[in-house]
Structure 1
Amino acid sequence: MELENRFTVPVGVDEAWKVLLDVERIAPCMPGAVLESVDGDGFAGKVKVRLGPMSLTYRGKASFTEKDERAHRAVIAASGREAKGAGTAKATITAALEERGAETLVRVRTDLAITGRPAQFGRGILEEVAGSLIGQFADALAAEVSASPQSTPAPGEAGPVDAGPAAHAPAATTGPAEVNLMKAAAWPIVRRALPPLAAMLLVLAWMAHRRNRRPERTA
């Protein structure tokens, strides 16, 4: 299935492009994600999600397959498998950046293929859940970018303090420990159920009205 999402970040397109390519910086903004290693354009990690009483952990790898700095377009190929189960997930994620004054619009297209228990939700619910998660990611990313802008110090000002090699050692980064997909999907499920439920209630009301108006038989 193909999912389309968009969000804005409060920086110019050139800065947003640098942020997009900084996996260690953006990974903590993704709900339920843990970044475990980075090797050049490739990285590995896990995502923990909850489906009602069911908890799932996906482990996988991803890599940048395209980086077009002039067009501000990047493509990521990712694949993962349930840590305890047979479910799999594969995705090709294309992000395109568009300058909007002091902000940047990020368009994300995800070609997703999943197997196992999450597949039961269907395309409609997954679209709603993806939109909710992207919204949480965008809010966290905007807050992170605003709180720690990557700016060049002016002449005479001190730059960032380099704490030595230890400051640059790889470290696992993480977002929230777990993201509840049922919570994210609850309103979409209810919203989809309302039209048929309303139609059923109307039919029942009409039948009751007909029954009440039916004349009684006389002996």
Structure 2
Amino acid sequence: MKVVLDKVFPLAASADSAWQLMQDIEAVAGCMPGAKVTERIDDTHYKGTITVKLGPATMAFKGDIEVLALDAASRSLHLVGKGTDSTGSSAATMNLTAAVQGSGEGCELSGKSEVTMSGKAAAIGGRLMGPVSEQLLKQFVANFSARLDAMNAQAEGAGDAASATAGEAGAPEAAGGAPARPAQAVQAPPAELNGLSFVWAMIRDWVRGIFSHKAHGR
């Protein structure tokens, strides 16, 4: 069972900031619900896990991630992840290409993924694989954007603190009388990918689409 997704999402951040975050493979993996990098072998090879829950069934995949390309000129990332569950009855492969596009204060994150599942995982979630993958990608982008916001806020806070220190040693406020902005907390993705929550999100989007079409049809 294979699903191919090709999406573009806007980001409220500079392309330089987004590219800086994309180069941190462990942080990028942490944006995926249920995923975690457990070991860094070298700059291009990692080991990780992803936990998927579909109703009462929970499947834990362990596998390898290989970074095939990290191109600063095109601000693009290409990686492949392969894994099997603990029983060996299911397998999954993901081929992902992502790139940061644009300039100035705003940019876009484009991604193309090919996800292939076999065995028990494909039998249980095969019919939902496409819609669930799309919801998963939306959540990934939301987490990626949240990390970007926190990273930028932390950088601004550090800059304000440095300016205040340079202007007046021990001053409680940053230059201009404004307090340094604290870094935003990033909400960690759930420890497991709950397939049912994604199904609910799909139903919600479908209902919204129906009412949106009715509104436009008036």
Rg larger in structure: 1
Query: Does the C-alpha gap of structure 1 residues 157 and 189 become closer, same or farther in structure 2, counting only changes over 3 Å?
Result: closer
For 2:196 and 2:139, locate their aligned partners in 1 and report how far apart those are by CA, in whole Å: 15
Aligned to 1:196: none
For 2:155 and 2:202, locate their aligned partners in 1 and report how far apart those are by CA, in whole Å: 41
TM normalised by structure 1 equals: 0.70
Deviation at 1:22, TM superposition (A): 0.4
For 2:30 and 2:71, locate their aligned partners in 1 and report how far apart those are by CA, in whole Å: 24
Aligned to 1:17: 19
The answer as to whether partners of 1:32 and 1:177 remain within 8 angstroms in 2 is yes
TM normalised by structure 2 equals: 0.70
Q: How does 1:64-103 map to 2 (within 5 A)?
A: 64-99=67-102, 101-103=104-106
State the Cα RMSD in Å.
2.6
Deviation at 1:100, TM superposition (A): 5.5
Which residue identity lines up with residue 37 of structure 2 in the other structure? L
For 1:108 and 1:12, locate their aligned partners in 2 and report how far apart those are by CA, in whole Å: 17
For 1:107 and 1:21, locate their aligned partners in 2 and report how far apart those are by CA, in whole Å: 15
For 1:136 and 1:154, locate their aligned partners in 2 and report how far apart those are by CA, in whole Å: 30
The answer as to whether partners of 1:57 and 1:84 remain within 8 angstroms in 2 is no
Query: Does the C-alpha gap of structure 1 residues 183 and 85 become closer, same or farther in structure 2, counting only changes over 3 Å?
Result: farther
1:54 alignment partner, one of 53, 57, 65: 57
Query: Does the C-alpha gap of structure 1 residues 156 and 109 become closer, same or farther in structure 2, counting only changes over 3 Å?
Result: closer
Which residue identity lines up with residue 11 of structure 1 in the other structure? A
Secondary structure of the 2:146 match is helix
Unaligned runs of 5+ in 1: 159-173, 192-219
Query: Does the C-alpha gap of structure 1 residues 12 and 49 become closer, same or farther in structure 2, counting only changes over 3 Å?
Result: same
Aligned to 1:105: 108
Taking only the aligned residue pairs, the percentage that are identical comes to: 25
Report which structure shows greater RCO (CA 8 Å, sep ≥6).
1
Deviation at 1:106, TM superposition (A): 1.0
For 1:175 and 1:28, locate their aligned partners in 2 and report how far apart those are by CA, in whole Å: 7
Greater shift, 35-44 or 22-31, is seen at 22-31
For 1:54 and 1:155, locate their aligned partners in 2 and report how far apart those are by CA, in whole Å: 49
For 1:56 and 1:156, locate their aligned partners in 2 and report how far apart those are by CA, in whole Å: 46
2:142 alignment partner, one of 128, 139, 142: 139
Query: Does the C-alpha gap of structure 1 residues 4 and 127 become closer, same or farther in structure 2, counting only changes over 3 Å?
Result: farther
The answer as to whether partners of 2:143 and 2:189 remain within 8 angstroms in 1 is no
Which residue identity lines up with residue 105 of structure 2 in the other structure? A
Unaligned runs of 5+ in 2: 164-187, 207-218
Secondary structure of the 1:40 match is coil
Deviation at 1:175, TM superposition (A): 3.4
Deviation at 1:96, TM superposition (A): 1.7
Q: What number of residue pairs does the alignment pair up?
A: 175
Q: Are 1:181 and 2:186 an aligned pair?
A: no
Query: Does the C-alpha gap of structure 1 residues 118 and 103 become closer, same or farther in structure 2, counting only changes over 3 Å?
Result: farther
